[in-house]
Amino acid sequence: MADDLDSDYTDVVAEFGGKLTWVDPGTVSEMPNPMRQLVDDDEDLYVVMVSPWADNVSGNKSKQYNKHMNMYTGNGCLPGRLLQQEYNIHYISTSPHESSAEQFATFRDHVNSTGKNPINNRRSRATWGVMQVFLAASASGGTKVEKETDTKYHECHLVGVARTAQEIRETLQEQLRLAMLGNAEAVKENQRSTGTKDKITQYWIEMLFGKAKALKAASPRRDKDSIASELGTWLETQPGDKMNPLLDITGLDPSQDTPVELLHTILLGVVKYIWHILNTTQWSDDDRCLLAIRLQSTDISGLTIPPIRANYMIQYRNNLIGKHFKTLMQMLTFHIHHMSAPEQFALVKAAGELGARLWVPEIDDMEDYLVQLKIAIANVLDAFDAVNPLRILEKIKLHLLAHIPDDIRRFGPLIRSATEIYEAYNGVFRLCSIFSNRLAPSRDISRKFASMSRVKHSLSGGYWWDSSSKQWIQAGNAVQEVLHTDSIFQRHLGWVSPRLSDAGSIKPMPLSKKAAMEWGQTKASAHWNSETALAADSWWRLGRVLTAQSGDEVSVKSWVIAQDSDGNLVVRRIAELLVAEKSLVTLERFICSKELHPDFNWPILRCPAGLEITEEHITSFLVLPASSIQFIFSVQHDCRRGDCQPTVVRKEIQEREETDRDISLIKHDDDDHFVINTR
């Protein structure tokens, strides 16, 4: 951390003199930082990653669509936990009439103006990352027939030659020049061969085609160059941008600074394609009914997904959203045995393994991580080729997978660029729209957001210029404390306080549901091997939930990593939670086999066998302090091995009450064989 350093580069050079020689110059950035020239020696320099985002959203809660185009942004330098809070999303603009490109153009002009007139901005410098605006990252063009050749088809699986903003501008300018000549075929060939096509430029191209045709019809003997010269003069006099305004922001290269977005590329792309293939080409109604039962029987402990509504997902299989596909990505592999072809199973498994490598908050070893990621991406693309070879030619999202490693090296973990928080923030906008004056909605909505921003700025300790005292001031401590103590303010402003967890604590069951019991009646009493004896007549209460060292909440039947008395980390399943003067947890022992599962290629957990218990003196249960539990993880029963069937019937629960309707669930044939869910 910078705070731990005693001296900066200038101090070190002043002390030792001369220019420093680095042992490994390839990993050292240019020093001193060239941006230091932007500020004085006694000033600090902050680099802020600004991530503008635009999307269309309805201003109504009803089904009647009231289209608005919104722009938000966030501070990309914040920790990942804060990036996903509505409090840190900043509204830029909205309009029911202006397109996202027009709003980006105004945003561009505003940002560029700070360089010409940097009042109160002389200490800041912005770097850019634009989300949800796709410009081709690499040169990939050609007709469909050409792409079906071996060479071109293979190129679709790889990252091509990287483009630059300048190259894209030059290509679009060439398309405009060809349009002035009235050569429609040449424009199409340019777009096809380069893979570059811009919506704004295309509008002007169509206009130029029409005008060139009209001028030629009016003067048939007039040469093309003369017509092109007149059209060029006309185009320069027209207001507005002639190509994407993002190509004209200093320091921004949209072809490289637009990271692949997980929601739309992976969940609503790769996983959705797989779901569609299985539903349209493989599964019958009986298969879908069985899949619903299997999904509903899933153990979701250790997973950060909502409760599975399997019947809903099957009934509305053509209208699922991101959270459903995130569940399917993690769980579908365990449930499609006997209802999928081998190549389809390989595709589902490869997609799940790719997801496990993408949804990571931190990367410890970048080089090793990228090697594993590239293998996972290649597996997905190869599996798609086996199931549907033409899909990669039809869907750009599959080709974008090849660009993910470069984006991660440039921006870090992709979940930092997730746009779900912006989608959620649309709810705040929608309320502002509903309660607007309906006369000038965009202005009224913007004023409301400005008021909220002023409140957040004040509560966060931000400064503002006081013209009367001629100095920068901020709110007092009592005002700033409101954000940390008042839950109503926190909820309305979208602030989520850090959850304070008491690691090792156990919440007991209510006495009305489970009475206290003597030590001799507990499971732990039969396996207690500590030198400290516990009184046989001591009373203990069964626990409902335990807080692990990681903050995870675990309960009976949860799979956990625990630290035994020798300091070793072991895999266990919780069998009992006890609370008295001390908190204890009874753990059921499982052995992690050296061999991987033959179908999943993931670690196997099994109960100790007879010889292991008798000859190696392995006990089936272990009692440890509650503070020994480190974290929870996901484990699924090996139903593929046991051929588990839906033979269990229970009453359906609706709105927390038991009904008369029966539902079927999977009955596991044993309680001995499990697979660690590594996704």
**What pLDDT digit, counting tens, does each position of 499-517 carry?**
777 888 999 999 888 888 9
Are residues 273 and 409 both part of a single domain?
Answer: yes
Beta partners for residue 542, in sequence order: 578
Domain that holds residue 229: 160-248
Query: How far apart are alpha carbons 104 and 190 in whole angstroms?
Result: 26
Instruction: Please check whether residue 674 lies inside any domain of the structure.
Output: no
pLDDT given at position 585: 94
φ, ψ for residue 49, nearest 5 deg: -90, 110
Are residues 280 and 406 both part of a single domain?
Answer: yes
Are residues 408 and 518 both part of a single domain?
Answer: no
pLDDT tops 70 at residue 123: no
Which CATH number does the domain housing residue 562 bear? Answer: 2.30.30
- Please report how many Cα atoms fall inside a 13 Å half-sphere around the Cα of residue 370, on the Cβ side: 13
Instruction: Please check whether residue 445 lies inside any domain of the structure.
Output: yes
pLDDT given at position 653: 84
**Nearest one of 500, 505, 489, 429 to 455, comparing CA atoms:** 489
Top pLDDT among 23 and 88 is at 88
Answer whether 432's CB lies under 8 Å from 442's CB: no
**What pLDDT digit, counting tens, does each position of 614-668 carry?**
566 677 888 999 999 999 999 999 999 888 998 888 888 888 888 888 888 888 8
pLDDT given at position 6: 81
**Mean pLDDT of the 39-66 span:** 85
Helices (H) and strands (E) in the chain, counts: 25, 22
- For CA atoms 336, 338, 340, 345, the dihedral sign is positive
**DSSP per-residue letters across 109-121:** HHHHHHHHS-TT-
Are residues 531 and 486 both part of a single domain?
Answer: no
Residue 522, Cβ density class (10 Å: 0-12 exposed, 13-18 middle, ≥19 buried): buried
Query: How high does pLDDT run on average in the chain?
Result: 87
Are residues 438 and 396 both part of a single domain?
Answer: no
Are residues 365 and 478 both part of a single domain?
Answer: no
Are residues 66 and 85 both part of a single domain?
Answer: yes
Instruction: Please check whether residue 341 lies inside any domain of the structure.
Output: yes
**Mean pLDDT of the 350-359 span:** 95
Query: How far apart are alpha carbons 460 and 457 in whole angstroms?
Result: 5
Are residues 629 and 517 both part of a single domain?
Answer: yes
Chain-centre distance of CA 385, in angstroms?
26
Cα dist from 490 to 78, 424, 525, whole Å:
18, 16, 46
Cα dist from 651 to 302, 307, 656, 659, whole Å:
25, 17, 12, 6
**Mean pLDDT of the 599-613 span:** 82
pLDDT given at position 130: 44
Are residues 331 and 447 both part of a single domain?
Answer: no
Are residues 405 and 435 both part of a single domain?
Answer: no
CA dihedral 244, 247, 248, 254 (to 10 degrees): 130
Instruction: Please check whether residue 142 lies inside any domain of the structure.
Output: no
φ, ψ for residue 518, nearest 5 deg: -75, 160
pLDDT given at position 135: 45
Are residues 393 and 287 both part of a single domain?
Answer: yes
As for how many domains the chain has, the answer is 5
Crossing angle of helices 322-331 and 342-358, in 10° steps, is: 110
pLDDT tops 60 at residue 134: no
Beta partners for residue 309, in sequence order: none
Are residues 396 and 521 both part of a single domain?
Answer: no
